[in-house]
Structures are given as C-alpha cells and as structure tokens.
A = this chain, B = another copy of it.
C-alpha cells in the first residue's frame, strides 16, 4: 500500500490560512427558557457554542437553508430570526407578528413563510434578507381572521396550511411571491389544530379538535379534494382527560404504514397508507405526543404527555411490539434522529439534559448539559419536504 502519493503538494511551510468546517453533521437545540440555541455536532456529540437573544422560544420551530449553514427560527412571540451556525450569531431578525406558531421554507430555499395566530394569516419573506414579500391574511369572512396551523411546504413554491377558526385549508402558490394565488378548501371539518404532509409530499392530513376523524387531501390527484379518514380518531364522546394534544408533525410513516398517537389513550394506532384504515393498535405507557420513525422505518419511538413524560418507548415495526422502555430524564419534549438513524437525540427539559442514544443497543452514547431543552433540529432537515 503506497502511502499518500500527494500529501504535501508544495514545499510551502505555511499551514493553510483557512481551515474549513462542514455543516452536514450540525444541529440546533432550543434552550427555551433562555431564548438561546445550542449549536451541536452529531459526530463529536458536543456543544460547539450558543446563539443568544432569540426571545420567547416556547414552542419554537426551526427550518434550514439549503446550505445547512443558515437556519430560520420562528419564535412564539412572532419574531423570525435568521441565524448562522458557523459564526453563531443572528444575521437578520424581524418582528413579524404578535403570536406565531412556526414556519416553513420553499422547495428552492428562496422563500421563508411564517404562520401566525395574531394577526391570523401567513407572511412571506425573502430567505436571504428577511425582506417581506407578501402578507396573506387568513380572512375567511369580512373582517374575520383565523389562526393558522399546520403550515407545510409543497413542491413548486407552494405552501399548504389550515385555518383553525374557519374550518378551511388553503394552498398558496408563490411562484410570483408578490402575487400569491390561493386555492381554498372549505368545510374540511371542525377546528383543524395541526397537520402534516407525508414524506413523499403527496398527502396532507389535518387533525380536528372540534370533532373526530381527520381531513386528508391527495395533492397528486388531478382535482384534489378533502376526504374524511379514520372516523374514530379523536377525543371521542367519552370525556377522556387529554393532557396534551399530540403533535401531528411527529407522525411516523414507515414503509406502507403510518403510526399515529391516539388522543387521550395509551395507544399508538397503525394505519395502512393505501386504504387509510386502522389496521392495529399498540399499547404504550402513556398518552403519546411524538411518534417518530427511525429513518429506515424499522423502529418507531414514542414520548408521552404528563404524567408519563419521563419515559420513551420503542416499537419494532416488524412485530409491533415494544422492544425498549427508556427513562432519559424528566419532561422529554422532543427527539431527533441522526440522518442515517444510528442515534437519536432526546431532550429532557426538567433534567436540563440532552441524551444521545444508540438506536441499536439503546445505550446512552453521550449526555449534554442544556438549559431546559425543547426542540432539536438537525441540518439534514434542509433536504426534506414538509418538515
């Protein structure tokens, strides 16, 4: 074996003036109480530094630019911030609403969109500068504005979202962002409270707070329309105590099946994505909040609402059995898989800890100190639709 044919290419004694670092294995952890983000590296499993001054980060969410170096942070207080993970600073920031609940980035990375409760609607920004490009109020009746939820990007500079107060789903085509074109689906069901797009971008599914069942749109259909699926899904007539409505965005689609958090019940539902019918239920140790598939779909990881929120359970999708129960620390709020799924990062808010767990052996590979951590977002999200 010949040794490095071309190691030192020149006789120059000088080291390279610049040492470059890559962003493929980076991520952000939200330290919600302090308005701060931790920049983490999933190869070294370490905190590289912090970005401060982001305001109210309760329920904050993050999307990434195509380059993986920039991220957009949607704060609950209506602020939208563009941060640089390398320089660990805020590059741009706008106070764009009074009460905001997340956002999305266009397929080509040029448009960032925030969904707002107050004023109800979406706002569109240039991803480079955060310059406002369009303001689309969710005015469903003259002078009536709805809170917006379930915003997701679709192919072709389009965005889809639900109007909680209007029982509607809108698609905004922003091919020309200054002249948005809207398509409206009405009477989709009472009070859509969250929604998701399947990983292939084909189906949009909204959960309903005001009735049972879910609203589904096949976006690949020649003439998309709303269908009702899973009539039994919801809070039901029985007065079950529901400690937290689950996050739909966490739904797992693994192979042909989707795994859904039951509402108020200690169960994960298994749904066939060809028929959209329930084909099984898996008992778990609490009310599920996030139900997330490992990237290969062979495992589904579940966390829970109070009082069971110190636990995480792992379902094997082949046998539909629980194969592991973990206690990574009190108040597990979020989980994020590394891109190829060998590890999962879990935030335990009240333990002030992020745990890195090996998904094969279930061993804890590392723990990181973190002040009240909530959401964890890795740069690999940049390459995904609907996240």
Asked whether A87 is an interface residue with its Cβ less than 8 Å from the other chain, the reply is: yes
Beta-carbon nearest neighbor of A92 in chain B: B4
Given A15-B7, A107-B342, A339-B382, the answer on whether A22 and B95 have CB atoms closer than 8 Å is no
Given A86-B22, A94-B3, A297-B200, the answer on whether A383 and B385 have CB atoms closer than 8 Å is no
Q: Is the CB of B90 within 8 A of A385?
A: no
Each complex incorporates copies of this chain amounting to: 2
Binds B, one of A67-75, A234-242, A279-287: A67-75
- Near B by CB (< 8 A), chain A positions 2-48 give 2-9, 11-25, 42-43
Asked whether A85 is an interface residue with its Cβ less than 8 Å from the other chain, the reply is: yes
A201 to chain B, nearest CB (A): 5
Question: What B residues does A14 contact at CB under 8 A?
Answer: 11-12
The CA-CA distance from A92 to B6 in the complex, in Å, is 7
Closest 6 CB pairs of A and B: A20-B86, A22-B69, A22-B67, A24-B68, A4-B4, A339-B383
Q: Is the CB of A66 within 8 A of B19?
A: no
Asked whether A1 is an interface residue with its Cβ less than 8 Å from the other chain, the reply is: yes
Q: Is the CB of A5 within 8 A of B67?
A: no
The CA-CA distance from A43 to B110 in the complex, in Å, is 9
A360 to chain B, nearest CB (A): 5
A residues with a Cβ closer than 8 A to B are 1-9, 11-25, 42-43, 53, 64-70, 79, 84-87, 89-90, 92-96, 107-109, 130, 132, 155-156, 200-202, 220, 255-256, 274, 295-298, 318, 339-342, 360, 379-380, 382-385
Q: Is the CB of A21 within 8 A of B69?
A: yes
Q: Is the CB of A20 within 8 A of B385?
A: no
Q: Is the CB of B8 within 8 A of A383?
A: no
A290 to chain B, nearest CB (A): 20
Q: Is the CB of A4 within 8 A of B94?
A: yes
Given A67-B43, A79-B5, A255-B200, the answer on whether A18 and B15 have CB atoms closer than 8 Å is no
Q: Which of A7, A70, A202, A298 has the most CB of B within 10 A?
A: A7
The CA-CA distance from A379 to B256 in the complex, in Å, is 28
Taking a contact as CB atoms closer than 8 A, the residue among B53, B130, B155 that contacts A296 in the complex is B155
Q: Which of A11, A19, A298, A384 has the most CB of B within 10 A?
A: A19
Q: Is the CB of B87 within 8 A of A24?
A: no
Q: Is the CB of B19 within 8 A of A8?
A: no
The CA-CA distance from A352 to B49 in the complex, in Å, is 44
Given A1-B94, A360-B156, A385-B340, the answer on whether A22 and B19 have CB atoms closer than 8 Å is no
Q: Which of A13, A66, A93 has the most CB of B within 10 A?
A: A66
Q: Is the CB of A21 within 8 A of B24?
A: no
The CA-CA distance from A141 to B367 in the complex, in Å, is 48
The CA-CA distance from A379 to B25 in the complex, in Å, is 11
Question: What B residues does A42 contact at CB under 8 A?
Answer: 66
A53 to chain B, nearest CB (A): 6
A385 to chain B, nearest CB (A): 6
A185 to chain B, nearest CB (A): 21
Given A16-B87, A20-B86, A21-B20, the answer on whether A1 and B132 have CB atoms closer than 8 Å is yes
The CA-CA distance from A93 to B7 in the complex, in Å, is 7
Given A12-B13, A155-B341, A202-B296, the answer on whether A69 and B24 have CB atoms closer than 8 Å is yes
